[in-house]
Amino acid sequence: MNYYVPIRDSAHRLLANLFLFVFSLIQFILFGNGLLLSIVTEYFAYLHTRKLPPNHDRTSLALPDVELFWTAGYGNSIPPDFVHGKGAACIMVQCCVPKSTGTVRLSPAGAHDITVDPLVDPNYLSVSEDWQVYRRGILFALEVGKEMANSGYALEEIHPLESTTPEDLDAFIRQYGFTGQHPLSSCRMRPLTEGGVVDQELKVHGIRGLRIADGSVFPTIVASRPQATVVMVAEKCADFIRESWKLDSIRNGHSDWRGKHRLC
């Protein structure tokens, strides 16, 4: 949900003022602070759309299904007509645990040629439950925007909804929705008979000596941003490799296995 906001509260002021941008760049390079130190998006909320505030159940153990975050910049692939003296900001609505799944497959030509791109079908919003999450999330984001305006903050919707009917909400999603980051689970940890790519020690089924250690091995998508989980996977993979070296050294009669290998 995109809004016009005071230029002082928008990252777009760096684009509107070349002197400010150059000054901020020098400030960041020399002192490591200033406007360019900001990640632009600094406020996040994870919620379950079936129990939104004020009826939010803080004791629930259910995974949140939507993430809302305020970004001090325009969040859409279709740029607006910027008004002089105003910046842009947005409330991003992101489905945390989408039910829709896609595929990544080798093309016939790519089976023997790594320069040929794979066939990728994200299959976005192919499950009705994902549409419901976005509808409820957008309606709640609208309420957040209204509360901000009612408290005296100067913001104005850039692309207001025609109405809040399911049909208009879906049309809004189709027109202004865009893909996010963090693609996961394309090499998920499952048995080969269930379509898995790696086993519980991250070894690729059928290929000796190859492991995968990134977000693609997640059996299912995590509800929060996956950076910390990816680090955990990498550290666990290092443990697996060290343990395998240790076992190999013992089998080969080497007592000082640490001196035989280096982990890079």
Q: In 3-state terms, what secondary structure has residue 262? A: coil
pLDDT for res 39 = 78
**How high is the pLDDT of residue 263?**
41
Residue range 169-200, pLDDT digits in tens: 999 999 888 887 788 888 999 999 998 999 99
Q: Domains in the chain: how many in total?
A: 2
Quick one: pLDDT at residue 151? 93
Confidence at residue 112, expressed as pLDDT on a 0 to 100 scale:
86
Instruction: Tell me if 232 is assigned to some domain.
Output: yes
CA distance 111 to 264: 30
| Confidence (pLDDT) at 76 | 80
**Is 183 part of a structural domain of the chain?**
no
Enumerate residue ranges in the chain where pLDDT < 50: 257, 260-264
Burial class (CB in 10 A: 0-12, 13-18, 19+), 59: exposed
| Residues acting as catalytic residues | 182
The whole domain housing 222 covers 192-259
CA distance 158 to 188: 40
Could you tell me which residues come within 8 angstroms of residue 18 by beta carbon, excluding any fewer than 6 positions away?
none
93 and 220, same domain (yes or no): no
**Residue 207: both structure tokens together:** 């290929």
Answer yes or no: is 187 within a domain: no
- Which residues, in sequence order, are CB contacts of 164 under 8 Å at separation 6+? 139, 142
Same domain for 58 and 140?
yes
CATH number (domain holding residue 25) = 3.30.560.10
What does the pLDDT read at residue 261?
45
pTM (predicted TM-score) = 0.81
* pLDDT at position 264: 36
3-state secondary structure of 136: helix
